[in-house]
Amino acid sequence: MIPFNSPPVVGGELAYMQEAITSGKLSGDGGFTQRCQKWMEQHFDCPKVLLTPSCTASLEMAALLLNIRPGDEVIMPSFTFVSTANAFVLRGAEIRFVDIRPDTMNIDESKIEAAITDKTRVIVPVHYAGVACEMDAIMALAKKYRLFVVEDAAQGVMSTYKGKALGSIGDIGCFSFHETKNYSAGGEGGAILLNDATLIERAEIIREKGTNRSQFFRGQVDKYTWRDIGSSYLMSDIQAAYLWGQLEHAEQINQRRLVLWNCYYQSLTPLGDSKRIELPTIPADLIHNAHMFYIKLRDIDDRDAFINHMKNSDILTVFHYIPLHTCSMGEKFGRFSGEDRFTRSQSERLVRLPLFYNLTDADQQKVINATLSFFS
Ligand SMILES: *Cc1c(COP(=O)(O)O)cnc(C)c1O
């Protein structure tokens, strides 16, 4: 069976985890955490990056940091993971879902303004498949209406928009190092990017259970005390050691994924040209990270037949998000702004092919052959 995903392993992870164990410092903010954070601050040109247990935790930190309160409204696409919405619903916010663009499956920037009310506080662009949302338009709206922008860049590590790293453009960016993403922190993990320097001090306090422990360890205060609400949003240094083994080879992982992505694209271009399927669109001005290769079929029946055909060839392919506004929780805590022209219909057509760092050329060829045979 060719799996849909297999977590990336480059080789150095175990030795670094051993080093962390030998150092005797396993809790958060140890040596490997510092290394990973510095690396990301430099590579992504961000004033402060903090490792967290997950992208979900990063999004929750963002909602706490921006003082989201009951009655506040938050704008996001409905075609996203539940955590994007839950983080704000936990603070009492209501979600305004905006339709997606059929070409990138990202929030349609031209439909955001109609969803803004005097209760709107935040726009959350989700960079689907590591392909950037139209950030210039989104940042201009945020400026005009004095809103915050929290980028859900769970899938966008190492992607750029007009030369800027995804996650580094809005006020806050959130990364995932879950094993299904391009880089893993041993299964679960995340980071929060604080692009607005005025948020850094409070972010450190919220992440350290509401205490100023970070300042204490830097020698800035002589005792640490309860200063704010907060929780435990640190990553174990053993996980950070695993992540360091991956970040050190980030370019190598990225390049391999791009080779696989481009091979799928070229091999399936004839099917796209004949309009039998739709291939992903990568707009100009951005560089993606090959997080995902999806194709879109005619409709849900065609898509399900394809998934079955692939399963019979021992290949796992999977569909993606059930739009949040169609779920019971989405109906309770959210509302779709305007008409759902594309979210439901496009999500029903989409299927993802296996794409992971350790996928061999031979296995990829099997996936391509099985895909072509479905349409012949
Ligand atoms: C994976 C993902 C998340 C959640 O990431 P975790 O690290 O598993 O919490 C959130 N948003 C999007 C868009 C994702 O793809």
* Atom number, ligand 1, closest to the C-alpha of residue 177: 7
What is the mean pLDDT of the segment spanning 71-100? 98
Q: Please, which pLDDT band fits residue 256 given cuts at 50, 70 and 90?
A: very high
Distance from residue 55's CA to the centre of ligand 1 (Å): 5
Q: State the Cα–Cα distance between residues 350 and 298, nearest whole angstrom.
A: 9
| Spacing of C-alpha 128 from chain mean position | 7
Distance from residue 221's CA to the centre of ligand 1 (Å): 35
Range of the domain at 336: 250-375
Residue 204 sits in the same domain as residue 116 = yes
How much is the mean pLDDT over the chain?
Answer: 97
User: Looking at the domain assignment, is residue 108 inside a domain?
Assistant: yes
Residue 318 sits in the same domain as residue 359 = yes
Residue 52 sits in the same domain as residue 180 = yes
Q: Looking at 195, 225, 247, which one is the last position of a domain? A: 247
Look at residue 186 in the predicted model and tell me its pLDDT: 94
User: Looking at the domain assignment, is residue 97 inside a domain?
Assistant: yes
Look at residue 202 in the predicted model and tell me its pLDDT: 98
User: Looking at the domain assignment, is residue 3 inside a domain?
Assistant: no
Residue 75 sits in the same domain as residue 224 = yes
What is the mean pLDDT of the segment spanning 120-126? 98
User: Looking at the domain assignment, is residue 4 inside a domain?
Assistant: no
- Please report, for the domain that includes residue 363, its CATH number: 3.90.1150.10
Look at residue 65 in the predicted model and tell me its pLDDT: 98
Q: Please, which pLDDT band fits residue 368 given cuts at 50, 70 and 90?
A: very high
User: Looking at the domain assignment, is residue 8 inside a domain?
Assistant: no
Q: State the Cα–Cα distance between residues 304 and 374, nearest whole angstrom.
A: 12
Q: Looking at 193, 219, 247, which one is the last position of a domain? A: 247
Catalytically active residues are 181
Look at residue 94 in the predicted model and tell me its pLDDT: 98
Residue 142 sits in the same domain as residue 23 = yes
Look at residue 212 in the predicted model and tell me its pLDDT: 95
Shortest-distance Cα residue to atom 5 of ligand 1: 55
Q: Please, which pLDDT band fits residue 173 given cuts at 50, 70 and 90?
A: very high
Pairing status of strand 172-176 against strand 190-194: antiparallel
* Atom number, ligand 1, closest to the C-alpha of residue 155: 15
What is the mean pLDDT of the segment spanning 79-92? 98
Per-residue H/E/C for the chain: CECCCCCCCCCCHHHHHHHHHHHCCCCCCCHHHHHHHHHHHHHCCCCEEEEECCHHHHHHHHHHHCCCCCCCEEEEECCCCHHHHHHHHCCCCEEEEECECCCCCCECHHHCHHHCCCCEEEECCECHHHCCCCHHHHHHHHHHHCCEEEEECCCCCCCEECCEECCCCCCEEEEECCCCCCCCCCCCCEEEEECCHHHHHHHHHHHECCECHHHHHCCCCCCCCECCCCCECCCCHHHHHHHHHHHCCHHHHHHHHHHHHHHHHHHHHHHHHCCCCECCCCCCCEECCCCCEEEECCCHHHHHHHHHHHHHCCECCECCCCCHHHCHHHHHHEEECCCCCCHHHHHCCEEEECCCCCCCHHHHHHHHHHHHHHHC
Residue 202 sits in the same domain as residue 325 = no
Residue 45 sits in the same domain as residue 71 = yes
Residue 318 sits in the same domain as residue 303 = yes
Q: Please, which pLDDT band fits residue 86 given cuts at 50, 70 and 90?
A: very high
Distance from residue 353's CA to the centre of ligand 1 (Å): 19
What is the mean pLDDT of the segment spanning 48-53? 98
User: Looking at the domain assignment, is residue 334 inside a domain?
Assistant: yes
- Please report, for the domain that includes residue 49, its CATH number: 3.40.640.10
Look at residue 372 in the predicted model and tell me its pLDDT: 98
Dump pLDDT digits (tens) for 218-229.
999 999 999 999
Q: Please, which pLDDT band fits residue 273 given cuts at 50, 70 and 90?
A: very high
User: Looking at the domain assignment, is residue 235 inside a domain?
Assistant: yes
Residue 60 sits in the same domain as residue 209 = yes
Look at residue 366 in the predicted model and tell me its pLDDT: 98
* Protein residues whose CB sits closer than 6 Å to any atom of ligand 1: 54-56, 80-81, 83-84, 126, 152, 154-155, 176, 178, 190
Residue 190 sits in the same domain as residue 300 = no
* Atom number, ligand 1, closest to the C-alpha of residue 58: 9
Q: State the Cα–Cα distance between residues 376 and 366, nearest whole angstrom.
A: 15
Percent of the chain with pLDDT over 90: 99
Q: Looking at 225, 247, 269, which one is the last position of a domain? A: 247
Residue 243 sits in the same domain as residue 262 = no
Q: Which two tokens stand for residue 369?
A: 């052959």
User: Looking at the domain assignment, is residue 1 inside a domain?
Assistant: no
Distance from residue 210's CA to the centre of ligand 1 (Å): 24
Split into its structural domains, the chain has a count of 2
Residue 270 sits in the same domain as residue 234 = no
Ligand 1 pocket mutation pick from 89, 178, 179 by most atoms within 8 angstroms of CB: 178
Close Cβ partners of 360 (under 8 Å, ≥ 6 residues apart): none
Percent of the chain with pLDDT over 70: 100
Model pTM greater than 0.95? yes
